[in-house]
Structure 1
Amino acid sequence: MSTSNKQAYQEKLQAQLDEWSADIDKLKAKARQADADAQLDYNQEIETLKAYQAQANAKLSELKSASDDAWQDLKGGTEEAWKTLQTAIKSAADRF
């Protein structure tokens, strides 16, 4: 793929990360309104989401620093991190 494809892919991933960050912020707001027992559960869930988010950010950073030839090799791992975060956010949103 060309440099422009790499750039477009990175922008797509960054936009999705930004959207998920907003989703996590919404979950934090819901957690603050919950009773004490539920807050504990929500906060644990949010910490897990933050860890997945950090992994996804790290994958995006790797992708950004990869050469035009090598970035395609990193794409699979990046997509796996995205899938994990996406699934975790959807699951948390369904429970909240």
Structure 2
Amino acid sequence: MDKKQAYQDKFYAQMDEWKAQISQLRAKAEKAQADAQLKYMEEVEELKAKQKQAEAQMHKLRDAQGEAWKDMTAGVESAWDELGEAMKRARKRFS
């Protein structure tokens, strides 16, 4: 397995985990009382938007030719870190 494939596999494994967590948070939001539900649903939508940004960066990297993918890792990691931090904050608020 080459480095690019390993990088992509790591990213997609983490993304699958975060997708599952977002689904769990959405379920909690749907069960919350009306005033809390709105706040939770906004948070879930923000997480989904960050998830889409991270996936878009990863798709660009995946489509990069040759060694150009290495130059794109900064954008992927920035989006990844942003989503990771948002997930941490959301899990704290939802617990």
- TM (normalized to structure 2)? 0.96
The within-5 A match list for 1:13-92 is 13-92=11-90
Distance 1:25 1:90 in 2: 15
Offset at 1:68?
Answer: 2.4
Distance 1:89 1:68 in 2: 33
Distance 2:57 2:16 in 1: 15
* Greater RCO, 1 or 2 (C-alpha within 8 Å, sep 6+): 1
Out of 3, 6, 12, the residue aligned to residue 5 of structure 1 is 3
Find the residue that maps to 2:66 and give its secondary structure.
coil
Offset at 1:69?
Answer: 1.1
**Percent of pairs with identical residues:** 51
Out of 77, 91, 94, the residue aligned to residue 92 of structure 2 is 94
Letter matched to residue 25 of structure 1: S
Unaligned ranges ≥5, structure 1: none
Offset at 1:74?
Answer: 0.2
Distance 2:51 2:70 in 1: 21
Large movers: runs of 4+ above 4 Å: none
Offset at 1:43?
Answer: 0.4
Alignment coverage as a number of residue pairs: 94
Distance 1:45 1:68 in 2: 38
Distance 2:12 2:61 in 1: 11
- TM (normalized to structure 1)? 0.95
Indicate if the aligned counterparts of 1:6 and 1:68 stay in contact, CA closer than 8 A: no
